[in-house]
Structure 1
Amino acid sequence: MPGVSGISQPGFHEPEPTPEQVIAGLRATVEGGEDLVQALTPEGERLHRPKLDAYLEDIDAAALQGLYRDMVLVRRVDREANALQRQGQLGIWVPLLGQEAAQVGAGRALRPTDMAFPSYREHGVAWCRGIDPTELLGIFRGTDHGSWDPAETGFHLYTIVIGNQVLNATGYAMGQKFDGKVGSAEDGQATICFFGDGATSQGDVHEGFVWSAVWDAPVVFFCQNNQWAISEPLERQTRVPLYQRARGYGFPGIRVDGNDVLATLAVTRWALEECRTGNGPVLIEAFTYRMDAHTTSDDPSRYRLADELELWKLKDPIERVRVNLVREHEVGQDFFDSVAAESDELAARFRAYCVAMPQPGPERMFSEVYAEPSPVVDAQRDDFLAYHASFE
């Protein structure tokens, strides 16, 4: 696997890069480059490399069918939520269309004892951590901050502030190390933190990198490079591929095909193993593409070309698994029909739950401010409710 054996240290007197080298670096940020780790081509052909296959020994036809099912169901939930927002049932939605392989591959690499810190787009990781999709609805309907228990699920609540979860994840991973939960491949623990390419321009991300490097924190930084930080393309954010930034902090970085669920699974398993055994941190750049808008309040047609979208449709993460299952494992149509039927049932349940969600009263905004009662907040609540009642 490229990039996993060590970090090369440049000399102090290396010549300045030529304009051609700078252009080549920029091109690598938008085309993947030679260092892209891949196990399944866009045409569904399985690639075999010893280092990669060592982390995929348990992936037979049944396991691959499970990954396919994960991605199909996650995509269906995403599309249903997108439609619900357009119909006024949700205040906003953050689509993951096109990033299913990156999230499912990373999510399925985790052990129950590991901890995951998401941003606001990790619906696929939530699925892999046992979070029912209906539990995401309150966040985007504006009725709660997330209804699951992070300690029980190993999945933190969503973080809206860009990059802030990197500091949280670093601190949690440092705690794992201080508690003696690192050092064993069998029962060691690790943390994984998800963020996008745009977040790499935030100071919180780089502070997390510094602290994790200094303290050898067992944290995998999982960057989903979907090519666009809202309306800013990747080439306006960096001169080098994002995974190479890890070198400046003194830990390994690797770029994986984020539309390849098998490669993502293998690379994340390797990175988590590095962290569990005390060799962390690790930066993974999952090279993928955001097929939809940044959020439902965004219009991507204002800043990107339609032919770019069409090009990435040919790299669809679900289709390449489907083709591989048919060609190399002779999986019949009955399986695909059953998954499609299951996705219909899930979408119907998801929609019914959303439409039936109760509307909280105006007092709700005051109920989760502090863990302990606050006289100041209570007074504000009473004043507001009295003002609100005056209109009745």
Structure 2
Amino acid sequence: MEIQTNYSIVTGTEPSFPEVIYLDNNATTPVDPRVLKTMLPYFSENFANAASTHRFGLAAHEAVKKARQQVADLIGADTHEIIFTSGATEAINLAIKGVAEAYSHKGTHILTVSTEHSAVLDTCRYMETKGFEVTYLPVQPDGLLDFELVKASIRPDTILVSVMHVNNETGVIQPIQEIAYLAHEKGALFMSDCTQSVGKIPVNVDNLGIDLLCCSAHKIYGPKGIGALFVRQRKNRIKIPALIHGGGHERGLRSGTLNVPGIVGLGKACELAQLEMAENEKKIREMRDYLETELLKIEGTWINGHREKRLYNVTNIGFEGVDSEALIMGLSNPEDDSPIITVSNGSACTAASIEPSHVLIGMKLTEYRAFNCIRFSFGKNSKQNEINLSSKKIKEKTIGLRNFNQ
């Protein structure tokens, strides 16, 4: 029987949302209808526990096994190197705390970057309370690391180097292959938060030299509440202890009944991402470049981050003299019947903060200028006519706010 994925059929109600132009895809993405269709049977028809040994449990187990292969295929890993988690944040905690505990006999120094996601930064700060020393490397004004500084900062007692692949606020892509080489040369492990890169650009753990990788389904049109941690077992086998005990699931690293629908959704999202990556990039890059070109025509605007070494789906633009919160509110509460335009002024995980973006401050912006910046992140559902309308509205709101402040 065909499974309907229309909102009203699934929920029995009609959605009551206003028309939205969604330009906040780095925060989260809508679930692809094909992903939802794949997930639905595991809520109501084949709802068995994947650890059960009866027929229905074995069917759920096979679905999990297939999803594990789909995730592994996307990043060039083996299936036994994939650990399912509740998302990238849990994966990051499991990786950093696990390495710290397992390798403390070799050293107690961790090296990371000041512009990492808060999931990495907060976990590293916690490790400092446990006696570990953490070095937070600064970045250059374009968001890239100084390679020589990285090289000089890896010490004999460094056990882990953690550098995110793609920055969630600016899209800046770090040269992690070269950094991983430096880490391994000094005997340290290399971890990368690849939440914003997996599924959008090619990521191969062997080619890039990654020992531990974190990713999340909801950034690539999968469901929230599910992610994965890659822990290298080939060539250089990495052993880390469990943070959650109680049943020995996921190779003993993450006990608990498996979220089969979520895992199936993650697997399908990975499969689709691999198949459609090149097509999505071409379409999204064209729209990003168009909006960027139009907005830079506004006097007193600038791009944050390296112009070339960044992901194709995001642009972070500063508007001199325009408070980002005021612009966000103006776009999300239009005075006419035009659609709401959703954008962001930083990470969704710290959106409630009144502090300026730590990423932009780390790139040497003043607090004043950091409060003038907006992140526009595009997705495969973005449409050119939406971008045209957005460009017009953003220009109008920017001029209006500047005139109001004079």
Q: Which has the higher strand share?
A: 2
